[in-house]
Amino acid sequence: MKKKEKSFIPLVVIFILVLQLINLSTTEQGQNTSNKNTKLINSDIKSINTLSITYRVNNSNTLTTELSRYNSEYNSYSIQKSQQKYKNLYHNNQVSEEAINQTMHLPDWFKYKVIDENLLKSYLANRSSILKDEPYFSSIIEVGRDFNINPILLFAITGQEQSFVPQDHVSATKIANNPYNVFCSWQSYNTDIVDASEIACRTIINLSKDRPDSVDPLVWINRKYSADQNWHYGVRSLYNEIIDFINE
């Protein structure tokens, strides 16, 4: 029994030494990480009142770092930068100079306008329209901006042509690829919403050329856009309906 006890003691000592070495290595790694994180923060934010770095070692001996920052000025700065970044990425409402020059002959209400997108989606939802969903909704808005065409006019045309594409229609996703019926119909030209919207914008721009001042813009477009001579009545009615809904 005494021999066994003697052989056991050195093993305990060795085990303790190994644990100390692991702890030392982890501490050094934490210090290196701390220096890197501190340098990164100092280079990014000039003023930080309180900086707290906590290291934890889990059961698998993996080092994790928790960084806490307490500074009202920093928090305000972060929120402002995040809001600005979101605005730049998602709400670029700037119409290009080229698009402006190509649409000089259009009436003002044909040209791109910033609209309340949530209210427009609500209107489309009341119509059970699939166009309130993506990629359709944003594509129509963005293409309208790119060509300097009022998105409400584009949606009004889809309403006249395809009743805003009811989402319960058996072919809703196919119709939504070309809700303007450019190149005759969605059956004969089934493309995608971006391409169809671009063609619709070009058609509006081209068919509006050489319009006499005494002729209504929609009546002038109606000559070649649709064989239905009452097409312009429907488009105008839907356009006004959307405007009234948004402005309520």
Q: Looking up tokens 């303790």, which residue turns up?
A: 16
What is the Cα–Cα distance from 110 to 238, expressed in whole angstroms?
Answer: 14
Structural domain total, the chain: 2
Q: Average pLDDT, whole number, for the chain? A: 79
Of 16 and 124, the structure prediction assigns the larger pLDDT to 124
Q: Is the pLDDT of residue 31 over 80?
A: no
The answer to the question of residue 82 being in a domain is no
The answer to the question of residue 87 being in a domain is no
Of 64 and 160, the structure prediction assigns the larger pLDDT to 160
What is the Cα–Cα distance from 234 to 225, expressed in whole angstroms?
Answer: 13
Rounded to 5 degrees, what are φ and ψ at 86? -60, -45
| pLDDT tens sequence across 102-142 | 999 999 999 999 999 999 999 999 999 999 999 999 999 99
Q: Looking up tokens 């100079």, which residue turns up?
A: 97
The answer to the question of residue 106 being in a domain is yes
- Domain identity same for 121 and 232: yes
Please give the torsion angle defined by the CA atoms of residues 165, 179, 172 and 146, in that order, rounded to the nearest 10 degrees.
-100
Instruction: Tell me the C-alpha to C-alpha distance, in Å, between residue 195 and each of 95, 139, 176, 248.
Output: 19, 9, 12, 33
| Mean pLDDT calculated for residue range 10-16 | 64
Over 63-77, what HEC string results?
EEEEEEEECHHHHHH
The answer to the question of residue 84 being in a domain is no
Q: Is the pLDDT of residue 3 over 50?
A: no
pLDDT at position 248: 84
pTM: 0.65
| pLDDT tens sequence across 180-201 | 999 999 999 999 999 999 999 9
CA angle 167, 140, 126 (to 5 degrees): 35
The answer to the question of residue 53 being in a domain is yes
Task: Place 64 in a pLDDT band, splitting at 50, 70 and 90.
Answer: very low
- Domain identity same for 239 and 169: yes
The answer to the question of residue 19 being in a domain is yes
- Domain identity same for 14 and 115: no
Rounded to 5 degrees, what are φ and ψ at 89? -75, -40
What is the Cα–Cα distance from 97 to 82, expressed in whole angstroms?
Answer: 28
pLDDT at position 102: 97
The CATH number of whichever domain residue 176 belongs to comes to 1.10.530
- Domain identity same for 119 and 203: yes
Beta bridge partners of 201: none
pLDDT at position 47: 41
Q: Which domain holds residue 234?
A: 92-247
